A and B are shown apart, each in its own frame.
Chain A
Amino acid sequence: MTEGKTTAVNAAGGDPPPSRKLFSGPQPNVAQAAGYPDAPPRMGFFTDTSVCIGCKACEVACKEWNSVPEDGLELTGMSYDNTQGLGADTWRHVAFIEQRKPLGGQEPGVDHSGFDVFEAARNLGSSPASPGPGATAPSPESAPAGAPAGSISPVSPDGRTELRWLMSSDVCKHCTHAACLDVCPTGALFRTEFGTVVVQEDVCNGCGYCVPACPYGVIDQRKEDGRVWKCTLCYDRLGVGMEPACAKSCPTDSIQFGPLEELRERAAARVAQLHAAGVTDARLYGESPDDGVGGDGAFFLLLDEPEVYGLPPDPVVTTRDLPAMWKHAAMAAASLAALGFASFVRRPR
């Protein structure tokens, strides 16, 4: 942590290496731009919502590992989702959506009819394709090949199955261009060597500026102490080579953790697989380095428009426009000075 802090100060304040930290657009090496000369590969999450079962193991694991306090025990009455959204005390949030749409879109597109679960359980840990306890996400090579098209559950004749549930575990996006980090006046938010974005709670002074700056509504203020909190991508676990708690606990590998490059490849293959299986709704969200935040460190595979999940369809980091803002403010200040001067100029009589 200490090392991260000092570097963060240099990266955020002082003199950053000239023009390497960009305001927007693709930035191939975020950690290096933030002042880590030999950084490890950028790490991130790929959350494949097509296999999420809404069990909330990630929410619980996150809370336990990070000692995140209770965030209100209320029943919303709107759906099974009583967590409602990300905030200071919710760093993973499982969205739950019920839709009048054919069931098929929800399925991973893989036909399981000939699959014997008991057989699979007996073989657990005996082959690389069925890793035992303690294993992490499967490597991309071991992922199953494209499923045959047309294996989607048909709509029953009376139409009653025209309903689907979408579940998606939301998290801080660890933006390439993180507005929260840019606007933080104290340098409490900093970029780690893994390219993630973390708050140092001992530096945060509770100004709350990052809260409205985040285009995704992630970071928020804890009422009790006024400071802000959000997902750290388990910086402490990463430091010792462990995967984040949520990914570790996810029973379906909906949350996959790894080097961002590898995750992007895996995600592209997964989308192709789903499209081949007829799940045309499947799309990636936040994976493109060309988007408004320069790509997310935590990106998603969604089965509907982002806004259906409560995600902004086209987020842009606010600091992209900051140079223009300063320019306009300077012009306005000059106008004000001129106005003040004009007030004292005597009109010729």
Chain B
Amino acid sequence: MSESDVTRKGVEGARPGREALTGARAGRRRRRRGRGEQPVVPDARFSSYYGKPVLNKPTWKPLDIAGYLYLGGLAGGASLLAAGAHATGRPDLARVTKLGAAGAITVSLGALVHDLGRPARFINMLRVVKPTSPMNMGSWLLAGYAPLTMAAAAADVAGRYRLVGAGATAAAAALGPAVATYTAVLLSDTAVPSWHEGYRELPFVFAGSGASAAAGLALAFVPAAQAGPARRMAVLGAALELGAFQLMKRHIGLAAEPFEQGRPHKLLRAAEMLTAGGAALAAYAGAGAGPRAGWRGRAPAVAAGLALLTGSAALRFGVFHAGVHSAEDPKYTVVPQRERMRARAG
């Protein structure tokens, strides 16, 4: 490490740019916030090029891509509920989740195309089959999955072509979990520290988040008598999401820090509270789900549903922004790599 810098005695404090350090401790520094949280790792000293990022940060528009992740999870989870409802004879639950899956995946494809800039550009994705590109695999997955959800929903609404509808529902449920989890690979297969380091747990976080969102959709729109599976899915999904996320933050060292700071932190706190609260409320609504009818009896379930839907969205946005932040600060690139080298050197 060098202890060099560009300041000279006389001009210190003259202009921020003049103070840029090229040597040690040149990284941006932030005060840690939070209620007595212990730092994941001690503040590290490191060199950088005037505090400039090493990586080029993702160019994706947050609304498009975080929305794409969220809606993919929602659709995938909804397809599971739809198949279960279809098989166990819960027509209202089936109707809502089939429509939900088809609607969510349509909007999600729309978001992707919006981010690409031109619809025709999506077609370029299907010009090769390339397992090393999660985005290519995802495009093929969606190209198969989206029509299935639409067929399932159309058959349900029309009340005809029952066999086709049943087949499409089952096939969509088979692909649904992959649609919900592949997006984690999409984020992890980058050099972005906070996304890459979490590649083991992130798919589970997204799986849980997709399940809780789908459950939320059902809770909000399906009468209590048929919403039993949704309530269970809400609790299980929330547990998976929150548990896997805690595990992830514990495993990834310095890369966990961006999740605990600034806007990502706020979003993820909100996600945690909404998801946990929504799941608890769903369980309560289940316990009290008796013959009470009308909006008053449905209120807890609707509130739970909305909380779960919002919580899942907040999680995706939080994860997205945390990753962008980890790419913007050279600290998260340089320090772990230095540590790795030191460990290797023994």
Interface residues of chain A, those whose CB is within 8 Å of chain B, are 9, 12-14, 23, 76-79, 84-87, 95, 97-101, 179, 182-188, 203, 205-209, 211-221, 226, 304-305, 307-315, 318-319, 321-322, 324-326, 328-337, 339-344
Contacts and interface: CB of A to CB of B under 8 A. Distances in A.
Contact of A77 (B18, B125, B230, B341): B18
25 contacts: A13-B128, A23-B132, A76-B17, A77-B18, A78-B6, A179-B190, A183-B132, A183-B134, A184-B133, A205-B121, A205-B122, A207-B116, A212-B323, A307-B49, A308-B49, A313-B338, A324-B200, A328-B203, A332-B203, A332-B204, A335-B207, A336-B210, A339-B207, A339-B236, A344-B87
Contacts of B125: 185-186, 205, 207
Given A12-B130, A183-B190, A332-B206, A212 B55 contact: yes
A73 to B, nearest CB: 16
A205 to B, nearest CB: 4
Contacts of B107: none
A182 B17 contact: no
Interface in B302-334: 323, 327, 330, 333-334
A182 B133 contact: yes
Contacts, number: 284
Contacts of B58: 208, 211-212
Given A99-B2, A203-B124, 6 more contacts: A77-B15, A186-B124, A321-B199, A328-B199, A332-B177, A342-B232
B51 to A, nearest CB: 9
Interface stretch (B73-81, B146-154, B250-258, B259-267): B73-81
Given A206-B121, A336-B76, A187 B20 contact: no
A98 B211 contact: no
Interface residues of B, number: 95
A219 B55 CA distance: 9
B108 interface: no
B334 A312 contact: yes
Contact of A212 (B23, B182, B190): B190
Contact of B60 (A208, A214, A315, A342): A208
B166 interface: no
B52 A340 contact: no
Nearest to B327: A212
The 5 nearest A-B residue pairs measured at CB: A13-B128, A99-B4, A310-B49, A77-B17, A340-B80
B178 to A, nearest CB: 5
Contacts of A219: 56
B138 to A, nearest CB: 8
